[in-house]
């Protein structure tokens, strides 16, 4: 069983943390993963930095810019992760954009993901129907789950299709906007969360975009299987460094 599927089977109130590979420093990637696991995080999303991250807000964009300047590349990331499975068993997801993956070669990318122990991918600009028609078989070949995003503007018909072809979780974007931390969710967002819940989808749901504190985390787990935190975590390690990661996680789950 894929580690992602297993964590949803075994645990409730999933916390997934996103960080940008190569940030704050080029060789911090493995240390961040290990620290997150020790802090009790359930899934780690490793951001592959890209020069034109359309879905990302200023915090993640800036971290990507710094990581690229530090020398982070797709090849460097796979090199850093070469022995990661001798150090951790936490589910690992790479989140990146389609263009650099195509430049690397779809099959080569998937093969290298499998070789280092990646469990799944999130590719925000890969439409579900294109994945289903062109790339599904190669993902299956290398035992990679592909997680799709939905937003408040996604039609019920589209959501049903995504749910049908999903083998991992569905990334439920909290609002139709770029990433970024907020202090609380608005009434219309909670109405959207309820609407998706009432659809009784087969796939587990994680809510992302805007989760930044205890209150937004609690809201997310009230309406889904858990939450994804990105910008708030990146802001924290930018200010506090990677040596105090456990403090951030304890505040979220207090």
Helix (H) or strand (E) holding 19: strand 14-20
Q: Can you tell me whether residue 233 is helix, strand or coil?
A: helix
Helix (H, G, I), strand (E, B) or coil at 190: helix
Is 168 in contact with 205 (CB distance < 8 Å)? no
Token digits of residue 21 = 């590979």
The pair phi, psi for residue 27, each rounded to 5°, is -100, 20
Give the count of beta carbons closer than 10 Å to the beta carbon of residue 156: 10
Question: How far is the C-alpha of 98 from the C-alpha of 95, rounded, in Å?
Answer: 10
Question: CA-CA distances (angstroms) from residue 75 to 78, 79, 137?
Answer: 5, 6, 23
Between CA 122 and CA 93 the distance in angstroms is 7
Instruction: Report, as residue numbers or ranges, the catalytic residues.
Output: 45, 56
Long-range contacts of 102-107 (CB under 8 A, 24+ apart): 104/74, 106/135, 106/138, 107/138
- How far apart (Å, rounded) are the C-alpha atoms in residues 172 and 215? 17
Token code pair at residue 202: 């087969």
- List the end-to-end C-alpha distance of the chain, in Å, as a whole number: 31
């Amino acid at each position: 069983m894929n580690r992602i599927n297993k964590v949803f089977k075994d645990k409730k109130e999933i916390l997934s943390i996103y960080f940008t590979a190569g940030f704050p420093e080029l060789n911090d990637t493995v240390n961040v993963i290990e620290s997150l696991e020790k802090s009790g995080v359930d899934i780690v999303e490793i951001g592959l930095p890209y020069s034109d991250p359309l879905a990302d807000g200023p915090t993640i964009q800036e971290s990507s810019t710094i990581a690229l300047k530090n020398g982070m590349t797709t090849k460097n990331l796979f090199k850093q992760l070469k022995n990661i499975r001798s150090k951790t068993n936490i589910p690992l997801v790479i989140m990146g954009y389609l263009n650099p993956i195509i430049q690397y070669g779809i099959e080569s990318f998937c093969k290298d993901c499998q070789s280092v122990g990646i469990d799944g991918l999130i590719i925000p600009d890969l439409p579900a129907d294109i994945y289903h028609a062109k790339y599904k078989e190669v993902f299956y070949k290398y035992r990679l789950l592909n997680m799709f995003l939905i937003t408040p503007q996604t039609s019920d018909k589209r959501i049903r299709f995504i749910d049908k072809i999903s083998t991992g979780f569905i990334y439920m974007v909290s609002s139709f906007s770029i990433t970024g931390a907020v202090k609380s969710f608005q009434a219309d967002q909670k109405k959207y969360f309820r609407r998706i819940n009432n659809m009784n989808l087969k796939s587990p749901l994680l809510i992302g975009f805007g989760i930044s504190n205890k209150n937004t985390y609690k809201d997310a787990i009230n309406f889904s299987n858990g939450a994804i935190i990105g910008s708030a975590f990146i802001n924290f390690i930018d200010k506090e460094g990677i040596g105090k990661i456990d403090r951030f996680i304890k505040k979220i789950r207090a």
